[in-house]
């Protein structure tokens, strides 16, 4: 039997997810066919495919999917998840449906752009294709204009996480450390494998060849410890393995570990409010420095950014390499827990401005770890005028990058205190939110 496997990649405004179903007999083959026909029209003997890969949620689709779920949930268990997602979307909402997950940055951005465009009000009411011929004088004042502007004025880069990605020259004698400027000629060593995103939070494939052993050691014993401390509880809840296996953490008032796919958290301090919301408090045994946490975010971005951007980021590097320097007027960091968008491996996206005339940050970065999203700006770029240290400035920024404003619930925080503290983490069980 041919075509006994069906794979879908859905991209919606609130995130993406994959569905893969295999058929082993006649009945399950019929289930695949029926599922496909919910999303695709049949003409004669063939399914009709549209190049745009964009679909719109309809009442009919919701109803068919609901009936399908009741009928086939034993054969296609993942259908429950799909049904839940589609039933929560609004009728008329556009989403992309592809046979495979896009791997390259440009393909991913194309899909994101298409989904965004399908949900812009003008587009939906007319149903017309947007073409560049339509660009008038007021092009830059509407939402489509802003989206195009973003593509034109910026470079996007996101190192692939599904294959080994090495940043910088492979020959050691050709390498120059991005952080201290050291080379083999000046005595810098490049014997260690430097992970651009720490291995301890799940990165396996993104390696920075341009980080010398001394800098690698420095980051490991300073900033990375605070990063790991911040993510420890998340690693337990989601079961993220590092080279030491699943985390087991002891706290002053409890402990937490992951075993057989289940997170187990014990604490002497559990509070339940009148609405039945349960909060678990965990007092850390380890030191955490919020400024170090922010510096470790910035370090990841500097590890992967186009090397040609580094000359305008010399003050940023100086601030990064001085562990005593907290920094002044640091940009706010946006944080979001996005239940629909789970990343199985941490992912970093760098958006750097190539046009000097724009009043948006030189380097904007997004880090996705599991359900967490962090939006941060590299401070002290020579190409920045604004500091992005106020909420207003951040909200203006979201107008330039509408894909961020489609997510609701961003909170902003400044990581400016350079002090070692033993944090108390609060785990809210109703939504699995962790707050230090």
Residues making contact with Zn ion (CB under 5 A) = 177, 179-180, 182, 212, 215
Neighbour order of strands in the sheet with 254-259: 248-251, 254-259, 262-267
Give the integer Cα–Cα distance in Å for 161 and 347: 7
Q: Distance (Å, rounded) from C-alpha 313 to C-alpha 118?
A: 37
119 Rama class: left (phi>0) / alpha (psi -120 to 50) / beta: alpha
The secondary structure element, H or E, covering residue 345 is strand 343-353
- Cα 223 to Cα 216: distance, rounded to the nearest angstrom: 11
Nearer to Zn ion, 114 or 214 (CB): 214
Q: Which is nearer to Zn ion, 177 or 365 (CB)?
A: 177
Least distance from Zn ion to the Cβ atom of residue 177, Å: 3
Q: What are the E-state strand segments in 79-149?
A: 94-98
Q: What is the Cα Rg of the chain in Å? A: 24
- Output the smallest distance, CB 307 to Zn ion, in A: 14
Which of 82/212 has CB closer to Zn ion? 212
**Minimum CB distance to Zn ion, residue 314 (Å):** 14
Is the C-alpha dihedral spanning 399, 401, 407, 408 positive or negative?
Answer: negative
The distance of closest approach from Cβ of residue 296 to Zn ion in the complex, given in angstroms and rounded to an integer, is: 16
Integer Cα distance of 258 and 246 in angstroms: 6
- Tell me the C-alpha to C-alpha distance, in Å, between residue 24 and each of 3, 32, 37, 62, 345: 11, 11, 19, 27, 30
Nearer residue to Zn ion within complex by CB, 102 or 181:
181
CB 175 within 8 A of CB 183: yes
For Zn ion, the closer of residues 215 and 394 by Cβ is 215
The pair phi, psi for residue 128, each rounded to 5°, is -75, 155
Three-class SS state of 219: helix
Min dist. Cβ of residue 181 to Zn ion (A): 7
At closest approach, how far in Å is the CB of 189 from Zn ion? 9
**317 phi, psi to nearest 5 deg:** -65, -40
**Residue closer to Zn ion (CB basis): 206 or 212:** 212
CB of 179 to Zn ion, least distance (A): 5
Question: Residue 214 CB, nearest distance to Zn ion (Å)?
Answer: 5
Closer residue to Zn ion, CB minimum distance, 177 or 240: 177
Q: Which is nearer to Zn ion, 215 or 333 (CB)?
A: 215
């Amino acid at each position: 039997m041919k075509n006994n496997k069906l794979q879908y990649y859905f991209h919606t405004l609130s995130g993406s997810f994959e569905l893969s179903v295999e058929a082993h007999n006649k009945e399950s083959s019929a289930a695949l066919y029926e599922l496909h026909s919910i999303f695709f029209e049949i003409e004669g003997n063939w399914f009709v495919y549209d190049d745009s890969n964009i679909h719109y949620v309809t009442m009919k689709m919701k109803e068919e999917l609901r009936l399908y779920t009741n009928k086939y949930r034993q054969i296609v268990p993942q259908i429950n998840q799909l049904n839940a997602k589609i039933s929560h979307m609004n009728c008329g909402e556009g989403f992309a449906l592809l046979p495979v997950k896009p791997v390259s940055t440009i393909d991913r951005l194309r899909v994101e752009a298409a989904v965004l465009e399908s949900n812009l009000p003008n587009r939906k009411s007319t149903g017309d294709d947007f073409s560049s011929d339509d660009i008038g004088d007021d092009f830059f004042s509407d939402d489509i204009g802003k989206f195009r502007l973003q593509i034109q004025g910026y470079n996007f880069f996101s190192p692939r996480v599904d294959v080994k990605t090495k940043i910088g020259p492979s020959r050691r004698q050709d390498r120059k450390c991005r952080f201290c400027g050291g080379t083999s000629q000046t005595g810098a060593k490049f014997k260690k494998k430097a992970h651009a995103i720490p291995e301890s939070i799940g990165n396996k494939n993104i390696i920075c060849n341009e980080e010398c052993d001394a800098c690698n050691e420095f980051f490991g014993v300073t900033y990375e410890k605070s990063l790991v401390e911040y993510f420890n509880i998340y690693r337990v809840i989601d079961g993220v393995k590092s080279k030491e296996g699943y985390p087991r953490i002891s706290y002053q008032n409890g402990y937490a570990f992951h075993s057989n796919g289940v997170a187990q958290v014990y604490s002497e301090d559990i509070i339940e409010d009148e609405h039945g919301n349960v909060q678990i408090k965990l007092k850390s045994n380890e030191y955490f420095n919020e400024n170090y946490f922010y510096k470790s975010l910035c370090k990841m971005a500097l590890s992967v950014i186009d090397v040609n951007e580094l000359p305008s980021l010399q003050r940023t590097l100086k601030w990064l390499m001085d562990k005593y320097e907290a920094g002044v007027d640091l940009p706010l960091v946006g944080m979001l827990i996005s239940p629909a968008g789970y990343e199985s491996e941490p992912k970093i996206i760098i958006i750097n401005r190539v046009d000097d005339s724009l009043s948006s940050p030189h380097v904007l970065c997004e880090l996705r770890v599991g359900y967490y999203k962090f939006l941060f700006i590299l401070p002290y770029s020579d190409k920045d005028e604004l500091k992005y240290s106020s909420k207003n400035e951040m909200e203006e920024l979201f107008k330039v990058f509408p894909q961020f404003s489609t997510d609701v619930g961003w909170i902003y925080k400044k990581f400016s205190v350079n002090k070692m503290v033993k944090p108390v983490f609060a785990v809210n069980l109703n939504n699995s939110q962790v707050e230090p």
